[in-house]
Amino acid sequence: MSVFVQEASMKTFEELESKVRSYSRSFPTVFEKSKGYKLWDVDGNEYIDFFAGAGTLNYGHNNDLMKKKLIEYIESDGITHSLDMGTIARKNFLETFNDVILKPRNLEYKVMFPGPTGTNTVESALKLARKVTGRDLVISFTNGFHGMTMGSLAVTGNASKRAGAGTPLTNAVAMPFDNYMDGIDSAAYIEKLLEDSSSGIDIPAAFIVETVQGEGGINAASFEWLRKIEAIAKRFDILLIIDDVQAGNGRTGTFFSFEKAGIDPDIVCLSKSIGGYGMPMAITLFKPEHDIWGAGEHNGTFRGNNMAFITATEAIKNFWANDEFEEEIQEKGEFISDKLADLIVKYPEIQGELRGRGMMKGIACGVDGVAEEVCKEAFKRGLIMETSGPSDEVAKLLPPLVISKDGLAKGIEIMDVSIQEVIRKRGLSA
Ligand SMILES: *Cc1c(COP(=O)(O)O)cnc(C)c1O
């Protein structure tokens, strides 16, 4: 398609779609096709994907095995919509998830289908924690991100997202995340507040925490800090909710992001890549003793996306039946760290700092606006990547986990050239 057609198509979004649109502004082109770690726009320009649908496409775009199963299912008139009635697709997903993911990790969780999105699983987790404990306060963490509906927004840090609520966001209080303040042990601070009956902080129903903050700056909590938060939760009978919507599904190197911390959360939220193929799906996992829901107490029309069950089951069977994929992610994660560390040394002008874990990494730039400009320049050169953090100060890498080393190296080369261009344009010096 010609440039003219492409420009005309972008006009459609400007004229007909609400101003609320976001990513079509960051990546102003019209995409047509995608495969693996690449996308192509209507002009045939190729893009390397370091964004992967914000962690929804961990297994890449249009994986052949999942596509085949999906087409077969549709062709056979398999059930598409069924509320939460029993279907073969639902049964196979539950059994596969239990056999391949939960059992080998010695995790005993009930599975709830809360609705198809990340914020749906978070809302259900908050509801359940309040119901189980009979308390209403939830402790969240600085720079946390949990979604856009009222309950999730109340535990989200970002001021402009919170302002969108248009009404007070209540029953939540934010405490400092790990390393929020240099040299201060925030876990000890939280424990002190909770043991002091005059601190003004009530004992909450739950802590809700991301092990690596996806939107809030790719801040990785140390395993030690996570263990301390878990110990505090146990001490005061507080439920520990891990929001693994972005960091889960292998992103940090293990299926669940908390596995290496050795913690045992009461509730786990999964979405984004759980459907495998980019299909809307979410699950909420919790300890069986917390399964006190009444039938239909948390209901919803789209709590059984059968097509997502088909691709999710295929993804789990293909990628998680043995340790190979985990090893691959860890190896690529180290490769990314090495390459980014090189860039940070090579370009002291941007005052870069390496952030993250596994294949959820980023460079936090000490100079205002640099990360955003690097992403813009990268897009012009065929690389899709986004920023993260309260001031968009982190250039964030979230490539599909299946990307080749060659693809990673090419993308990072584009970052290199883009950084050079930003330094040149801005006249930055070290
Ligand atoms: C994306 C995200 C959510 C919200 O998911 P939606 O599908 O956008 O509602 C919640 N928590 C975390 C950690 C996320 O990254």
Alpha-carbon distances, residue 409 vs 22, 228, 349, 355 (angstroms) = 28, 37, 22, 18
CATH number where 269 lies: 3.40.640.10
Mark whether 312 and 174 lie in a shared domain: yes
> 35 with 62: CB under 8 angstroms?
yes
Do 116 and 179 belong to one domain? Answer: yes
Tokens standing for 240?
Answer: 């520990």
Q: Are 338 and 221 members of one domain?
A: no
Distance, CA of 211 to CA of 400 (rounded, Å) = 19
pLDDT of 46:
98
Do residue 315 and residue 329 come from a single domain?
A: no
Q: Whose CA is nearest to atom 5 of ligand 1?
A: 118
Q: Helical H runs in 323-404?
A: 324-346, 370-380
- CA of 417 from ligand 1 middle (Å) equals 31
pTM, whole model, 2 decimals? 0.97
With respect to residue 308, please indicate whether it lies within any of the assigned structural domains. Answer: yes
Residues 133, 237 contacting (CB under 8 angstroms): yes
Ligand 1 centre from 271 Cα, in Å? 7
Q: Domain residues for 398?
A: 3-63+325-426
403 and 265 housed in the same domain: no
Residue 48 in contact with ligand 1 by CB distance below 6 A: no
Reported residue count of the chain is: 430
Ligand 1 and 271: CB distance under 6 A: yes
pLDDT at 351: 98
Is the CB of 143 inside a 6 Å radius of any atom of ligand 1?
A: no
Is 245 a pocket residue for ligand 1 (Cβ < 6 Å)?
A: yes
For ligand 1, the distance from its centroid to the CA atom of residue 25, given in whole angstroms, is 20
DSSP one-letter string for 242-290: EE-TTTTTTTTSSSSTTGGGT---SEEEE-GGGGSSS----EEEE-GGG
- Check residue 173 and give its pLDDT: 98
CATH of the domain at 371: 3.90.1150.10
Decide which of 273, 294, 319 is a domain's last residue.
Answer: 319
Q: With respect to residue 71, please indicate whether it lies within any of the assigned structural domains.
A: no
Q: Can you read off the two tokens belonging to residue 262?
A: 């050795």
The verdict on the CB of residue 233 being under 6 Å from ligand 1 is no
Beta carbons of 76 and 306 less than 8 angstroms apart:
no
Distance between CA atoms of residues 107 and 69, nearest Å: 28
pLDDT, averaged per 10 consecutive residues of the chain (430 residues), comes to: 60 93 93 98 96 98 98 98 97 98 98 98 98 98 98 97 96 98 96 98 98 98 98 98 98 98 98 98 98 96 96 98 98 98 98 98 98 98 98 98 98 98 95
90 and 31 in one domain? no
Report the pLDDT value the prediction gives residue 9, as an integer from 0 to 100. 75
Under 8 Å between Cβ of 341 and 121: no
In 3D space, the residue among 410, 316, 261 whose CA is nearest the CA of residue 111 turns out to be: 316
**How many angstroms does the Cα of residue 313 sit away from the middle of ligand 1?**
21
Ligand 1: which atom is nearest the Cα of residue 280? 7
Which mutation among 271, 273, 302, 396 tests ligand 1's pocket best, with the greatest number of atoms within 8 A of CB? 271
Residue 68 inside a domain? The answer is no
Overall number of domains in the chain: 2
**What pLDDT score does 4 carry?**
54
The CB of 270 under 6 Å from ligand 1? The reply is no
In angstroms, the CA 228 to CA 196 distance is 18
Q: Which of 277, 297, 319 is the last residue of a domain?
A: 319
Burial of 160 (C-beta count, 10 Å sphere; 0-12/13-18/19+): exposed
Of 284, 319, 354, the residue that ends a domain is 319
Shared-domain flag, residues 309 and 336 = no
For the CA of 247, the closest atom of ligand 1 is: 13
Ligand 1 pocket check for 153: Cβ under 6 Å = no
